[in-house]
Amino acid sequence: MINIRFEAKVHSSFGQKVLLVGNHPQLGDWQPTKGLLLSTFEGLYPIWRSEQEFRIPEGFDLEFKIIVLNSNQQIDHWENLPQNRTYTPSLCKDSVLLRMHESSQWIEEFYDDPVDKIHENSLQNYTRIMAPMKIRSSRILNPLINHQPTQKQEEKQVRKAEENSLNSESITIESNANKGNEKDGETKKINHPLKVTIGDGLNKNEIILNQQKENLQQADNQYEAEQTNTIKYFYKQIASKSESVLVSTHVKTQRLKNELKQLAKSLPIQSSNSIFLVYDEQRLDVMRALIFGSEDTPYAHGAYFFDIFIPDDYPQNPPKVSIVSTKNNSIRFNPNLYADGLVCISLLGTWEGEQSENWDPTNSNIYQILISIQSLIMNEDVYFNEPYYQEWKGSEQGDKCNRAYSNIVKYYNIQHAIGDMIENPPFEFQQVIYTHFLLKRETIKATAQAWIEQAKKGEECLYDELIEDHNQQISSKFSSEKAAYLHSLQEEIERVNKLLDSLDERLVLISS
């Protein structure tokens, strides 16, 4: 049994009550006046909290919504959401706090165990810790709405601006208005970050004040650059022209709801390989998947993002899927994962395979697509994913080419799929990414060291025309000098190890 506490941000009028109503007896079985009552007080409002203990068994598919009642017990309004809130506890901790905002489907989970003890639980508890985060809702089409800094981050932002002013070097300010009282060439010096000559009639204080405002704005921009990674949704233009799932066909809507429930139960969440999914809180047909590379592959431990859009004629036709982990279209991680986002696989209709491999409206689903990408594409046979190149597998030349392509994938996996994601994780997966890398910190370091030792052996690689065409710049670099791959890999691993060691602090920051 899981003990759940609720916390919701709801604005109400005097005398109104806030309740959670849903598909459980303690939530009133959808009877508004019998729901779970939340309470608040002066100093806490508009935050409302549950006082009554709420316990449900693991695996129970909880559905609920926030409702506001007037003092006469009449319904003032239900929160405006396209579908019910859903939450399925699975192998999570004994107690969880769910935080939410009215009319925003995003639900944040907080656990009683201190963040700084997560890494002590070892990989044996990976599934227990990560499973509750496997599928969630967020803002994908309009992500900036959710990117509000916490109070601590705002304070840090202001401190940075103040430090920029206080730590600046002394500069010279010349005032023509005062020049007559000074000797030729003599100037006044004050400590201020602005280098400027003040002309007649200008107010120094105004200029200082304006510069302080500029410093605050620069700090704000720096905060946005460092703390917020908003990957533009690949199909935003198509989604904006498509019908909302609310007015779409009943077949599509019901199919998506069923698939999301199945994904919540079936997505793999193991330390060796895991997949997470976020769907837009306003539209079920807008999704983003996070696939962590499987161990014993060049993609090991790395975070790879795929945007998914469900067309109006679904399930007669397959979803649209694109990889967005390409570092601005500069990296091709696989012959079937193009730098422009194309995912080449029979299920999506982007490659002509056997009839049994193509999309079947009755039996094919989103789960199969995600599993196929993780297991059939992101595997150890990178080079042989190129159509008709499988015949080279096992040959001396084929092994050399596969080793070369794998080196490129390993390098970019360390640099972008791990390092860049720790530095600047997408907002909707921030907690997932930090927790994943924290739990696997020592495993990642061990894998990276093993790749270094393997590179030191100097096994012959062949960067042929295919590899050169897919990743020209890095391929030319690695092929021009035998030790180039080793030195580049060591440099990125040194950076990533420092980032891994910073994860405790990063996770505490987003949890505060």
Catalytic residue annotation:
344
Strands (E) located in 284-355: 286-292, 303-309, 320-323
Q: Cα–Cα distance between 126 and 440 in angstroms, integer?
A: 9
User: Which helix or strand (DSSP H or E) is residue 276 part of?
Assistant: strand 274-280
Strands (E) located in 135-196: 135-138, 170-175, 188-191
Q: Cα–Cα distance between 31 and 65 in angstroms, integer?
A: 11
Q: Cα–Cα distance between 48 and 203 in angstroms, integer?
A: 49
Helix orientation angle between 484-501 and 472-480, rounded to the nearest 10 degrees: 120
Residue 134 exposure: Cα atoms within 13 Å on the Cβ side: 29
Strand 62-69 and strand 75-78: the pairing is: antiparallel
Written as one letter, the residue type at 471 is N
Residue whose tokens read 């022209």: 241
Q: Cα–Cα distance between 411 and 399 in angstroms, integer?
A: 18
| 307 close to 324: Cβ distance less than 8 angstroms | yes
For the CA atoms of 230, 232, 234, 236, the dihedral, rounded to the nearest 10 degrees, stands at: 120
Strand 2-9 and strand 95-101: the pairing is: parallel
**Cα distances (angstroms) measured from residue 145 to each of 139, 276, 506:** 8, 22, 22
Residue 109 exposure: Cα atoms within 13 Å on the Cβ side: 29
Rounded to whole angstroms, the maximal C-alpha distance in the chain is 92
User: Which helix or strand (DSSP H or E) is residue 22 part of?
Assistant: strand 17-22
Q: Cα–Cα distance between 486 and 46 in angstroms, integer?
A: 55
User: Which helix or strand (DSSP H or E) is residue 369 part of?
Assistant: helix 366-372
Q: Cα–Cα distance between 374 and 377 in angstroms, integer?
A: 6
Number of H-type helices and E-type strands within the chain: 14, 18
